Structure 1
Amino acid sequence: MFRYADKSSGLLFSSQGLSDLTAKLAKRLRDEVESIDANRLLNTAPADLAAYLAEKYRLDPPALRRDEWSAEESETKIDVSGDQNRWISDRSRPFYVPGQRIDVEVPFDGDPELFYVRPNQFSLSPPRAAVRGRSLLLSFEIPHEQERDVRSETDRSLAEIEQNLSRIRGEADQYNRSLPYEAETAVSNRRARLLTNQGRVAALGIPLKKRAGAPSTYAMPDVRRRIVPTLPPAASVPYEPEPVLDAEHYEHVLSVVQNMVQVMERSPSSFAHMGEEALRDHFLVQLNGQFEGRATGETFNAGGKTDVLLRENGRNVFIAECKFWKGPKHYAETIDQLLGYSSWRDAKTAILVFNRGTSTSTVLDGVRERTEAHQYWKRTVDWKHESGFRYVFHHPGDRNRELTVTVLVFDVPSPSSTG
């Protein structure tokens, strides 16, 4: 993080200001994004890269583990030449007397360098202590003929240190909360510029000459502050943009699918005896009414036949699997099936779970637990829905090829409920 604080005086919280430090770290984050090889950046999942940067540049303020403190004492010689209450004939030289040294050691967690950073609110008489590895050391030297209340002095010093750490934590927390947005913005801005540049070059229709010495890989700089996640792996081959279903159209497809709930509610007896294929066909009718017949069922794609496939200009833009709920294990197999069907260009997918006779909350709990335990699950998206979830998976063959999977649970009428 920084290594130029003056530590020789023993003064804590008296080096550079924390606000100056956070500004420098934010700039380093942006500079690192700009320094990453273009293809390396474009081939890395943006969310993964932003998460890596936010973690790398976050601050980790120290927290004292006072319940684990300890003390050690030893005999020593103490130079009292500066003590004006003593008669000393020659103060130009050290004058030693017998004494005792007491060291109070307090372990801590966090970044030791932050003991030297000055919070916005600070004292002109900062506390003194030494940082030794992962411990804070308060030392007291007492001439043999003097009495000192070391415990009171220790408590007072630690109270001052805790007060400064509390101020630093408040400022650091605010900075840390800003990092995800800072990282996402930096990555997004550079990606947008690179893709715009690619578009201009493609419009030329002239083969590009490869620059001599262009990097084929990107080496992550050494991070000495603490252990941090490594830069997400990605290929350094030339990046080729791929067509995907944009978010607005994806939501529209899902809204068409969800409209089937109203159809089933209006005519429950019509759906009470239907199996998976018959129900799927009703969804296809709805989709083809909106997308001019471009939705198909039981279509071969990648590793098998998918239940619902929506194609646009020869590209697969939406894939869905329709399954009755038969327990968590069967649902997990459906995830594998969907990922096996999806080629690298399929970024928007869905699993439609038909529930007949099981408590909806039981199904939703099973979906959540099995999904987040899946080996290719990356994260859960904050998507508010009463009977569904949204997740991001990575393709089995490439962690940077992300697939959005929306899981919707539909309660299907049963024969007994319709009389």
Structure 2
Amino acid sequence: MNFFSTTESRLYFSNQKSKMQSEINSLYDNEIVNCNFEEWKEYLYSKYSVAPITLFEESTEKSFREKTIKKYNSFHRFNRHEPEYYNIAGYCITFKIYYNGNPDLFKLRPSSFILDRFSSIEFQSPFNDKCGYFTLERDYTKEELLNDKSESSPEMVQNQFENYFKNYREMIKNVNKEAEIFNSSLKDQAEQMLTKRKEKASTFALLSQKLEIPINLSTNAPNITPIPLVKISRTPPKKPITKHNSMEYLIKDIDYKNINKIITMSGTTMEKTARTYYLNNEEELRDHLLATLNTHYENATGETFRKIGKTDILIEFENKAAFIGECKIWHGITQFNEAIQQLCNYSTWRDGKVSLVVFNKKNKNFQGILKVVKDWIDSSTKSYSMVLPNVWQCKFYRSDMQVEIDLNIAVFDLYVDESQFKDIRKNNN
């Protein structure tokens, strides 16, 4: 991979600003009028700021291998019958350098740059809790490594690498400086954009006041209370230490609650625009939830094999425990019971926190469905709390494994009276 040459940094940061502008412009009038600017500034900063590159040079790993080295034959200039290059036995030392930050910065050409070629043999972006890394190689002949000069081979190799790597550090310093300048003004730019968008919505607010109808949106609307993206703190790999903690496999309550909150907010949004989603099948509805989850968790996957069968939503934490979620369309209490059993079949003893998401598409009596689900919860769970009128957090006893698990049940209404409008999608099908 070639570094610092793909995109002009000026264009990259301008594009980041344009993306933020587009998101703000896409807000509805009622959303911008009611939104909390401070919360939105934090949200937009967490989403569009560019994390500078941090090098962990003290954790650099070296590897050593034999290699055939191609050397230029200086006699070729005087005698064209001489080969231009000749091969000799040598060695290659690979330097694996760990880093954290936005990997896009390695592609940018900053306004201040060094005229040189920068490249990496292998490049890996940060992922989950793991740092990214890139590798550089230096070739040596046998004579260079085994010379009898005063400087020892390890010192020579390190000193030569330091001299070679200093230009990389300088270029990283330059792109970091531009990222920090961009980040420092991001919140002010966000506030200016939000203010201009709110001014455009003044007609909506004026009509609301004139008609004496208050603008009263649900506190669950995702655009009113945005969830800041979690910034992952990464450190380079260290030698693992054996732990003896019998509860280490359980995912944290804060993660479980946050996942369910994201699902609830996404489902609430789908209810508000039910005409968009009422024709979707289970898999398509699941994909809408996954699209939202993937903006918060890097490893949210759908239809992932788990124990037996396949589960709709799976989010693994540290390759230990997992969040298991199942999406179903309401077809009655019998199928609801089967969905609960399906969740149990997909989960293992490590998966103590699961969720069931139910969508109503055909039944106009949504309150009747909520009552049936509530009756099941009363009779089948050990205890529960009602998070919202359509969301319950339950303690459910798995008799097959004799364990108590957390079960979140959320029911969303996507019923649409098709006689009231014409949907062209049906004609296209």
Could you tell me the TM-score, scaled by structure 2's length? 0.42
Scaled by the length of structure 1, what TM-score is found? 0.43
- Is the radius of gyration larger for structure 1 or structure 2? 1
